[in-house]
Chains A and B, each alone.
Chain A
């Protein structure tokens, strides 16, 4: 994502595309600290996800740093029995997508 030449409609388009994927339950854009910028979930769900995911992402980021100081966290996927949480940190923002991995099977 090159900074400076993104406009609001690009962001909206990307979010709409992600949300329309089969199985996607929610999309959250937040800051690294867990402050919610935009979310397709209810306020309390968003807050819950934001708090848990931001601290997990922080841990993952420091893990990567421990294993290799030159490396950087690029993406994180947490898969459980019922859902899959995908986390894309980018600078000071984090994009989180929650999907039901079983919904993609037709």
Chain B
């Protein structure tokens, strides 16, 4: 991803890695880029967080926590995408006006939290112990 700031219109251009097209974001979204970074820092700093992956709906990994390997990140991206689609269908079958917001899958040792939107999925993996 390469960022160019065009002075006059204060428009942020990000080259989309998959299509190689330039995507233009409005000025409001310049603010949200640093908010994103802050949020990721906050998530990283939480105790017990083992990893995070940000991916698009096609399953391409956009960001991952440094301690995760690319292979692991892609595996999570692929599987959680399928899971998100299935959960979204359940939500919409129950109420067509409703939509999935997030999904938490808890196992014996960890919890995988998925935050869903139309374009992206954020996956966070954290350690989980009973009564913690």
Q: A-contacting residues of B (Cβ < 8 Å)?
A: 75-76, 79-80, 82-83, 86-87, 90-91, 93-95, 97-110, 112
- Point out the residues of chain B lying under 8 angstroms from A59, CB to CB: 82-83, 86
- Cα A76 to Cα B91 in complex, Å, equals 14
The verdict on A60 contacting B98 (CB below 8 Å), with A73-B105, A76-B104, A77-B104 known, is no
Besides the known contacts A49-B94, A72-B107, A80-B100, 13 further A-B residue pairs in the complex with CB atoms under 8 A apart: A48-B94, A55-B86, A59-B83, A63-B79, A63-B83, A73-B107, A74-B106, A78-B87, A79-B100, A79-B104, A80-B101, A81-B101, A82-B97
CB neighbours of B80 from chain A (8 A) = 63
A56 at the binding interface (Cβ < 8 Å): yes
> Quick check: B90 and A67 within 8 Å, CB to CB?
no
Chain A residues with CB under 8 Å of chain B are 48-49, 52-53, 55-56, 59-60, 63-64, 66-68, 71-83
B100 near A68: Cβ-Cβ < 8 Å: no
How many angstroms between the C-alpha atoms of A63 and B105 in the bound complex? 10
A34 shortest CB reach to chain B, Å: 13
Measured between alpha carbons, how far is A60 from B104 in the docked complex, in Å? 10
Given contacts A48-B94, A53-B90, contact A74 B101 (CB under 8 A): no
| B107 in complex: contacting residue of A55, A56, A74, A79, CB < 8 Å | A74
Chain A residues, CB < 8 A from B109: 68, 71
